[in-house]
Amino acid sequence: MVDFVADYHRDIESFPVRSQVKPGYLRPLLPDSAPAEPETVEDVFADLWSKILPGITHWQSPKFFGYYPCNVSTAGMLGEMLCGGLNVNGFSWITSPAATELETIVLDWLGKLLHLPEEFLSTSGKGGGVIQGTASEAVLVVMLAARKRALKQVSSAAQGMSEAEALSKLVVYSSDQTHSCVIKACQVASIATENFRPLPTDASTNFALSPAVVRKAIAADVEAGLIPFFLCGTLGTTSSAAVDPLEELGDIAKEYGMWYHIDAAYAGNACICPEFRHYLNGVEKADSYNMNPHKWLLTNFDCSTLWMKDSEFLLAALSNKPVFLRNEATDNNLVVDYKDWQIPLGRRFRALKLWMVMRLYGTSGLQSFIRSHVSSAKHFESLVRADSRFEVMAPMTFSLVCFRLRTLPGSQDTSNSLNSKLVDALNRKGNILVTHTELSGIYTVRFAVGATHTELQHVQAAWEVIQAEANHLLNGKQ
C-alpha cells in the first residue's frame, strides 16, 4: 500500500484532475453483495486502479486549484499511519493519556506560533485548544457554548422568560460571505433560521462586513425584543478570502455581550508568517478561534484546530458523566476529557499528525510552504491583470485569485454564462480544476493555490490552459 500511494503521487499529474465519470458509474462495476469468501489483496488493488481511481477527483494534484486545498504531506501521512496503527480511542484522558496531553501541548505550540493571546493557551488555566474534525464542528460547538451562556444570562436577568421563549429570540450575525457551516450550526442548535443574519457585503468593502451594517442590524433586533448572542467574523471567506474587520467586530460583540467567534479555516494558516499576522489582530477580543491545518498546513484531513478563552460554557453544553466512563483522574478534576469538548464521544489520536508536521517541517519549513503558494498566486494574479480580456474581482490577499473573463461587445453571452462555460470546459477537459462563486451576483472563477505539490510551473501552465480555453470560447463567438 505504501508503494501504491507512492506510485499514485508519482503519476498523479497523468489523471484528469476532476473525475470524468457519470453519476452511478460504479454500481455496475461491483458485485451486488459482499463476497462470501476472502478475496486477495491483488484483487483489491486491481479494482483500485481500474474502478476506484477513475472516480477520484485528485485533490492532491498540483493542478488542483478548486475550493480551498486539502493538504497532505509525508509527515502528516506518517501521523495518520501511526494513529491507525495504535488505534486508541482517546475520549477521556484515562483511555490514552498521551492522546489528550499531546493534543493540549501541540495546540499550545500552534497557538504560540500564531501569537494567540495567552488566554487561549491551556496554561491559562481556563482556556485551551482542541482538535475538531472540521470547521463545521468547531463553529457548532462554540455556538452551543454561546447558547448556554446566553440562556443563562437571560434567566439570571430574571426577565420571567422561559428558556424556550429565550431560545426563539437568539440571533446570530455574520456576513453573507460566511461559510455555510454557520447556518448549518443554527439549524442544528435550534436557532430559528429567520434569526440568522447573513449581513450584506459588496465590493466597496472587498466583501468584508461593515461594522455600521452590523450595528444597525443589532439595534433593530434589540428594538424588536430579540437577543443578539453570537457574532462570527471570518478571516478569509470561502468566496474571495475577504477579511472581516476583526477588531471592530470584537468591540461590537463586547458592547452587546455576544459570543465572538473568528473562523479562519483557510487563511488563519498564513498567520504563522509574521507578514500575515496583522490580519489576525482583533483575535484578542474573541471568545474562540478556529482554523484548519488540514486545508493549508500540510496536515492530512481531518484536523481543525479550535481555541477558546474559557471552556466553562462548552463543558456546560456538552459534558455528561455516564457511570461506565467514571475514573479517578476525571472525578478528581485532574485532567481534560476531550469528549466534553466535542459532539462525538470517540476520538482519533489526530494530534500525532499535527505534532509530526510541526517537528518535521519546523516553523521555517511551514512558513516557506505558505510563502511559496502566496508567491505563485501573486504571479498568477499578475498574469490575469496583464491580459485585458480578464479582470480580477477581489483583492488577492493570501493565495486565492478571483477573476473572470470579460464579455466581448455584441456577444450573445452574458458575463455569467460565459464564465460558467469557461469553468465547465476547464474541468471537463481535466487539465486543471477550478471552482466558482458569485460576488454580488457576478459569476466568478476561483483559483486557489495550495495543493502540497503545486509550484510556480503548475500555476504558469494553468494560466496557459485557461488562456487557450478563453481563446476557444471567445473565437467561437466572434
Residue with cell 510556480: 456
Pick the closer one to a copy of itself by CB: 326 or 472. 326
DSSP element (H, E) containing 187: helix 181-188
Pick the closer one to a copy of itself by CB: 256 or 355. 355
Pick the closer one to a copy of itself by CB: 82 or 389. 82
* Shortest CB 241 distance to a copy of itself, Å: 12
Which segments within 278-325 are labelled E, that is strand? 288-291, 304-308
Pick the closer one to a copy of itself by CB: 254 or 428. 428
Order the strands of the 288-291 sheet from edge to edge: 128-132, 304-308, 288-291, 259-263, 227-234, 170-175, 196-199
Pick the closer one to a copy of itself by CB: 132 or 282. 132
* Shortest CB 250 distance to a copy of itself, Å: 26
- Write the CA distances from 157 to 223, 228, 415, integer angstroms: 18, 15, 54
Distance CA(13)–CA(462), nearest Å, equals 12
User: Is residue 317 within 8 Å of 92, Cβ to Cβ?
Assistant: no
Distance CA(319)–CA(401), nearest Å, equals 42
* Shortest CB 247 distance to a copy of itself, Å: 26
Distance CA(303)–CA(289), nearest Å, equals 14
Distance CA(123)–CA(126), nearest Å, equals 8
Distance CA(418)–CA(319), nearest Å, equals 52
* Shortest CB 271 distance to a copy of itself, Å: 14
Distance CA(351)–CA(103), nearest Å, equals 5
Pick the closer one to a copy of itself by CB: 18 or 63. 18
Pick the closer one to a copy of itself by CB: 219 or 343. 343
* Shortest CB 77 distance to a copy of itself, Å: 5
* Shortest CB 136 distance to a copy of itself, Å: 5
* Shortest CB 141 distance to a copy of itself, Å: 9
Sign (positive or negative) of CA dihedral 321, 325, 328, 334: negative
